[in-house]
Amino acid sequence: ASKGPDRLQFLDQEDLLEAAMSSGLYQPQGQRGGRGGYAPDRIFNDFPVNVALPFVPGITRHVLLVDDDLLFARSLRPCELFSASPAYQLRLFAHPRGIGESKGNSETSDAYSAVFASAMRHTARLWFKLAATEQAEEAVRNRPGPYYEPYHAPQVLDVATLRDLWRRVPGELSATLDGAMRHPTMTDIIGLHHSELVERGRRARRRRAENITEGTDSDANFTSAQAWPVDLREFS
């Protein structure tokens, strides 16, 4: 990697993938079987780069992800990524979809789009499975919220949540990191991240409402760790 002036730092893709592979969470292809065996130097798609983001050396807790093919027609201020009314909330640029829901026939109009759409469906199924398992462990009766498929837009990410997803589904994310080209069973960690934050926010608000009903609510019980997902706002 080479370092530019001031705060600008360039990190080679191979170095990033190697950092993820040495993290202790990565499962080698020989251990998990199936697809893979191409990282770190034979990767030709952006899904592996996205799943490796939490392993960027010295990364901050919150980051802004902007794809290299995204153009800004005007200046963008950080405050535009949040709303000010009725409360300060993170703007989530994503499309909510329920179980089995599709965004329409246009997403399968060509082979490339069909592969991408299949990866989104695969990730959505993984998310609903994760959410259902966690709710069963916590004895939560409410049905999990929708899966949030990211738009092609700037995305604010919570790195701690990305790392938590690695701990929960290391095999899925390892297979995605190790995939040379996009394929139908890749996992989109950005969509998992958005869906997880929304679901945590729903659970936190529900617990807070229950505490208020029981008369046990207190600001001292409302931690900063809860405040991030609670302030999430969804845009569809």
Asked if the peptide bond before residue 40 counts as cis, ω within 30 degrees of 0, the response is: yes
Q: How far is CA 149 from its chain centroid?
A: 9
The rounded distance, in Å, linking the Cα atoms of 14 and 128 is: 32
| pLDDT given for residue 81 in this prediction | 81
101 has pLDDT over 70: no
Q: How far is CA 114 from its chain centroid?
A: 21
The rounded distance, in Å, linking the Cα atoms of 36 and 226 is: 36
Going by C-alpha positions, the residue among 131, 99, 125, 154 that lies closest to residue 200 is 131
| pLDDT given for residue 85 in this prediction | 60
The rounded distance, in Å, linking the Cα atoms of 153 and 156 is: 10
Per-residue pLDDT, averaged over 207-226, amounts to 55
Note the pTM of the prediction, 2 decimals: 0.82
164 has pLDDT over 70: yes
H or E, element range at 82: strand 82-83
Percent of the chain whose pLDDT exceeds 70: 74
